[in-house]
Structure 1
Amino acid sequence: MNTRRNRQELAQFLRRCRERTSPADLGLPVRSRRRTPGLRREEVAFLAGLSPTWYAYLEQGRDIRASTEVISSLARVLRLTSDERAYLHQLATGSPAPQESPYGETEDKIVRAAVAAMGQRGLPVYAADVHGDLVAWNDAATTWYTDFGALPANRRNMLWWMLTAPEARERFVNWEEDTRDVVGRFRRAAAARAWDARFEELITAMRESSEEFAEWWSSHHVSKQRPRRREMWVDGELRAAQVAVLNLAESTRSVVLHLPVDEHEPTQGE
């Protein structure tokens, strides 16, 4: 869905990616001082095989339609990561980029481990909706994180808690890395539901309440959901787990599991 908000996000994202791309990396001669960093609009258009005027319209947020092939060409020129490429497709076409391998051996392994660990005591399990609003959690989740039941219903949100609660910064060993990852996934979810007023409410509130969120949001940091190691201080002890998400079919709810960590095997996302 190419809404006004997504068109504006697309324009800002393209400009930021263009400005960070070095002409030398693409084999372009740099013979004089440039007034702006990175590539010029005309250079992006030329390398992607587009009309300079048409590409300028994209960066102006105009209501124009871009094909999957055009967006893939822009992603190649701007040297986007796989996460950024999927995000660009989501903004421009309403659908993520086609995945070369939708389900691999790593995911199969995580699913098997998740099923085995579902009943294991002492490890957190919680469920959240697409906005990160918590809808269910076990006792271990309150021990590792916080008593979500004591929070106001409209602030019972994992990202909000991570950004604004002083205890979150104390509990997460790698608070910035873990929180940036959740922000990146939140951005992808928001792009997929541009019509969703709850996202608008949360984005506005977090921009006003968290300097880090405002900075990361403006930088267009984006990431996809993948299993990752999370380390936390729990009752004065360092605890580690591999966090994996099970998306329920035909539902906007996901179950977040904390799986035992194999200390001798690095996890995806480290």
Structure 2
Amino acid sequence: MERAWLGEFLRRRREALSPQDVGLPARPPGRTPGLRREEVAALASVSTTYYERLEQGRGPNPSAAVLATLSTALRLTPDEEAHLHRLAGHTTPARPNRTTQLDPTLEHLLTAIEETTPAFVTDDLGNVLAQNWLNITLLGRYQGNLIWRWFTDPTWRHRLDPPDRQEQTGFAYVADLRAVLAEHGPDGPAGELLQRLNDASAEFRTMWDHHAVASLHCPTKVVHDPASALSNWTARSSPARSPANAC
């Protein structure tokens, strides 16, 4: 049970809700935003003292039933509810185990679609395991970590997202990393990546402090290609298309 993380997560989610979000009367202007601890406790049918101890990182191990009521009270998404269970030491549907070996079926698929679709495969930490020819043509050969590159390489960011969408993408990476870290624990590669990002990027530290958690979903991106990297592709595959699915 990660008591400190559990308490911080509960507090952040409580502060993100307004009374109106849970059907309570609005407060006068100027009052502290978010729900009060006693309001969350009442919504979850637990005592205020019990809930306060959980937020302070010194409470007992909550049962799965209590976690379910807290999830409802705090209006958690499915990803957030799973994260809450992991922090409390309960089992949740696990992601596939992280591996550095590429599944042969995926490798064959990358090759099969490379004439029309840029694609790559990563592990759950964002380490690139393989790329097909078209993805390399668009973005260059890369075998590092996508989250690290996003927060440390401005040129990479600007190729994948216009400035007004970069914050959204950054938060998506951070929220996914928090979910993965809760599953695998603070030791090992996940914790090492977190430490490196904290040391290297003030932007990452600010986003991490929001305590958001969600699985990564990859939207359509329009790749900026001023060097005409697609010139060889259009000779092999016509017509050319500019959007690419990438995280």
**TM-score band w.r.t. shorter chain:** 0.7 to 0.9
1:129 correspondence with 2:123: yes
| Equivalent in the alignment of 2:157 | 169
| Equivalent in the alignment of 2:142 | 148
| Equivalent in the alignment of 2:81 | 85
Give the AA of the match of 1:228: P
Contact 2:119-2:245 within 8 A present in 1 as well: no
| Equivalent in the alignment of 2:188 | 197
Structure 1 vs Structure 2: percent identity of aligned residues?
35
| Equivalent in the alignment of 2:53 | 57
**In 2, distance between residues paired with 1:230 and 1:93?**
37
**Residue 35 (structure 1) shift:** 5.9
Contact 2:110-2:132 within 8 A present in 1 as well: no
Matches within 5 A, 1:1-270: 2=1, 6-29=2-25, 36-62=32-58, 64-96=60-92, 119-122=112-115, 123-148=117-142, 156-173=144-161, 174-226=165-217, 228-234=219-225, 235-236=227-228, 239-243=242-246
Contact 1:67-1:93 within 8 A present in 2 as well: no
Q: TM-score, normalised by structure 1?
A: 0.69
**Residue 143 (structure 1) shift:** 3.0
1:61 alignment partner, SS class: coil
**In 2, distance between residues paired with 1:213 and 1:193?**
20
- As a proportion of its length, which structure holds more strand? 1
Unmatched runs of 5 consecutive residues or more in structure 2: 95-106, 231-240
2:121 alignment partner, SS class: strand
**In 2, distance between residues paired with 1:22 and 1:169?**
34
**In 2, distance between residues paired with 1:138 and 1:28?**
53
| Shift in CA distance, 118/68, structure 1 to aligned 2, threshold 3 Å | farther
Contact 2:118-2:244 within 8 A present in 1 as well: no
Unmatched runs of 5 consecutive residues or more in structure 1: 99-113, 150-155, 245-270
Contact 2:114-2:132 within 8 A present in 1 as well: no
| Shift in CA distance, 31/179, structure 1 to aligned 2, threshold 3 Å | closer
Instruction: Name the larger-Rg structure.
Output: 2
| Shift in CA distance, 7/211, structure 1 to aligned 2, threshold 3 Å | same
| Shift in CA distance, 205/128, structure 1 to aligned 2, threshold 3 Å | same
Q: TM-score, normalised by structure 2?
A: 0.75
2:126 alignment partner, SS class: coil
Q: Calculate the aligned-residue CA RMSD, in Å.
A: 3.0
**In 1, distance between residues paired with 2:153 and 2:72?**
39
Contact 1:75-1:85 within 8 A present in 2 as well: yes
Contact 2:179-2:214 within 8 A present in 1 as well: yes
